[in-house]
Amino acid sequence: MYSMRMLRMFTSVIITSQPTADWSLKYEQDEPVQPRYEINAPDLYIPMMAFVTYVLLAGLVLGMQNRFSPEVLGIQASSALAWTVVEIVLEIVTLYVTNIQTKLRTLDLVAFGGYKYVGYV
């Protein structure tokens, strides 16, 4: 149920450009509510599944072109993961250099960085 709500939210944003009415996070005693209770909370489930699907689709495309090998699939996965790590490190460095105070944790940035694979798939 949770996954369907998240994917429906992403689909509505991508297809109709009509985002949900309220993008703010809900808090309970100065802590964000868990993702299963808050649709806008960043989680790692959808980004991880999108990443795996992206790598598998890359393998499928390589197979259709008769260029598939397990090594190439591993290189594709490692490359995508490395670029995601570089992106997250640059975001953290930028937040530090510009002295921006935020409640976002590193895993929140990883989740937000991984949502790009939803659009790729």
Residue 16 corresponds to which tokens in the numbers above?
A: 């109709």
Task: Indicate if 32 and 54 belong to the same structural domain.
Answer: no
Looking at the fold, whether 53 and 93 belong to one and the same domain comes out as: yes
**Do 22 and 59 fall into the same domain?**
no
In a 3-state reduction of DSSP, which class is residue 27?
Answer: strand
Same domain, 36 and 54: no
Domain of 24, in residue numbers: 1-41
pLDDT in tens, 81-106: 999 999 999 999 999 999 998 888 89
Same-domain check for residues 17 and 66: no
Distance CA 89, CA 83 (A): 10
> What's residue 38's pLDDT?
72
User: pLDDT value at position 44?
Assistant: 87
- The pTM score is 0.74
37 plus 48 within the same structural domain = no
pLDDT given for residue 51 in this prediction: 95
Beta bridge partners of 28: 31
| Cross-strand pairs, 27 | 32
| Same domain, yes or no: 63 and 121 | yes
Q: Which residues of the chain have pLDDT under 70?
A: 1-2, 6, 9-30, 32, 35-36
